[in-house]
Amino acid sequence: MTAFPAIEVVDIPGKGKGVIALEFIAQGTRIIAEEPTIKLSGQTREDLAHSVQTALSSPSNLEFLLSFPCKKGEDPVSGRFNHFLPCASEDDNACGLFATICRINHTCCSPLSGPNAMYTWREDLQCETLHALRDIAPMEEITVSYIACQMHTDDPPKFLRKNFDFSCSCAGCARPPDQRAHSLAQIHQYNLFMESFPISAQSRRNPTQLLEQLQHNLLAICEEGYAIELSRGAHCGFRLCAMYGDAKNAISWETLSRDCDAVIQGTDTEEYRSSERWIRDPSTYERWNIYGYSELAAPVRII
C-alpha cells in the first residue's frame, strides 16, 4: 500500500478550511490519491438532477456538502457545486466532491507566485491525485490553482470573484491592472497558438519556423507561471520532429515532456509509459517520418 506524506485539513486564517503539510514533501511526490465522497454524473440535465437527488438522499452526504461554503445569494445546494472537481470519463460529465483535495485553497499562477501542488483526475485509478510541483516545507499550506491555463481568459480577480466568490490575495492578483492585462494577453496568445498547432504542423509550412514559435510561446507561458504547460508543449515539439524523422531532437523534446509529466501526474500513467517508449525508439510513433527527413532543433536550454 502506498504511503503518502502526512497532511492535515485545518482552519486557515482568512480562508476557512485549508490543507497543510505536516512533513517535508519533495517535488513530484504524490501527496494523496482520493476517491470522491460524493460523485455526480449524467449526460443530460435530467440524469444529473437524478444523480444529485440520489447522492444527497444520504444524510451524511448532505452534511458533507453543507460543510463547504455557499456562494452568496445562491441555492444552498447548487451554490456549493463550484467546489466539485471534474471526474472526466468517456460516457458522462461526472464531477466529485473530495474530503481533502476540495479543501485545498487557491494561488494564481503568475510571474510572482504560484501554487505548490496540482491535482489531476486519474480515470484508470478512479481517483483524484495531488502532486507537489515543488518542495513543500513542514507546516506550509498546500495550494493549487483553480484556473487552468486554457481557462485563463479573464482577469483572475474578476474570474475568482464570479466563479468562486472570493477575493484572491496572491502576489499575482496584487499587481497593477496593466500588468495583469499584459499577462492575460500573453496567455491568450499562447492558447491561440497551441489550438492552431496541429493544423500548422499538418500544413507542412516551414517546420523550423513553427518549432521556433513553439519555443517562444513555451518560454512566454513559463514566465507567466504555467511551467506545467511544458508537458503538453514539449510533446508537440516531439510530434513535429518525429513527423520529419528527426530522432535526436524528437528524443530531447519528449524527454522534457516526460520529466514534466512525472512531476504533475507520476510515473504510473499511460502517457509516461508512451513517452518512455518513444524516447527509446521514436520511430515507434505512429506518424514517424511521414513528411521526409528534416533536421529541426532541440528545446532551448532556458526551458
Domain final position from 164, 187, 211? 164
Q: The whole model's pTM is what?
A: 0.93
Whose grid coordinates read 447548487? Answer: 78
Residues 74 and 213 in one domain: no
Burial label for 113, CB within 10 Å (0-12, 13-18, 19+), is middle
Shared-domain flag, residues 136 and 189: no
Picking from 148, 137, 127, the residue whose alpha carbon sits closest to that of residue 266 is 127
Closest CA to 181 of 213, 160, 158, 163: 158
Residue 86 lies in a domain: yes
On whether the CB atoms of residues 67 and 75 are closer than 8 A, the answer is no
Same domain, 190 and 133: no
Closest CA to 135 of 266, 303, 23, 11: 23
H helical segments located in the chain: 45-55, 59-66, 156-164, 177-202, 207-223, 230-243, 247-264, 270-280
84-94 burial by CB neighbour count: b if 16+ within 10 A, else e?
Answer: bbebeeeebeb
* 296 occurs within a structural domain: no
The answer to whether residue 280 is domain-embedded is: yes
**Are 143 and 183 in a shared domain?**
no
Helices 177-202 and 230-243: crossing angle in degrees, nearest 10, is: 30
Helices (H), 204-296: 207-223, 230-243, 247-264, 270-280
Q: Strand 16-21 to strand 141-144: parallel, antiparallel, or no bridges (unpaired)?
A: antiparallel
Report yes or no: 224 and 111 within 8 Å, Cβ to Cβ. yes
Last residue of a domain, one of 141, 164, 187: 164
Q: Is residue 112 part of a domain?
A: yes
pLDDT of residue 302: 58
Instruction: Give pLDDT tens digits along the chain (303 positions).
Output: 678 999 999 999 989 999 999 999 999 999 999 999 999 987 777 887 888 999 999 999 999 999 999 988 899 998 999 999 998 766 668 899 999 999 999 999 999 999 999 999 999 999 999 999 999 999 999 999 999 999 999 999 999 999 999 999 899 999 999 999 999 999 999 999 999 999 999 988 899 999 999 999 999 999 999 999 999 999 999 999 999 999 999 999 999 999 999 999 999 999 999 999 999 999 999 999 999 999 999 998 655
Q: Could you tell me if 141 and 250 lie in one domain? A: no
Q: What is the CATH number of the domain that holds 154?
A: 2.170.270.10
User: How many Å apart are CA 63 and CA 169, to the nearest integer?
Assistant: 29
**12/127 same-domain check:** yes
Question: Structural domain of residue 222, as residue ranges?
Answer: 177-284
Q: In total, how many domains does the chain have?
A: 2
Max intra-chain CA distance, the chain:
64
Report yes or no on 172 lying in a domain: no
Residues 132 and 185 occupy one common structural domain: no
Q: Tell whether 171 is covered by a domain.
A: no
Are 42 and 104 found together in one domain?
Answer: yes
- 132 exposure class (CB count in 10 Å sphere: 0-12, 13-18, 19+): buried
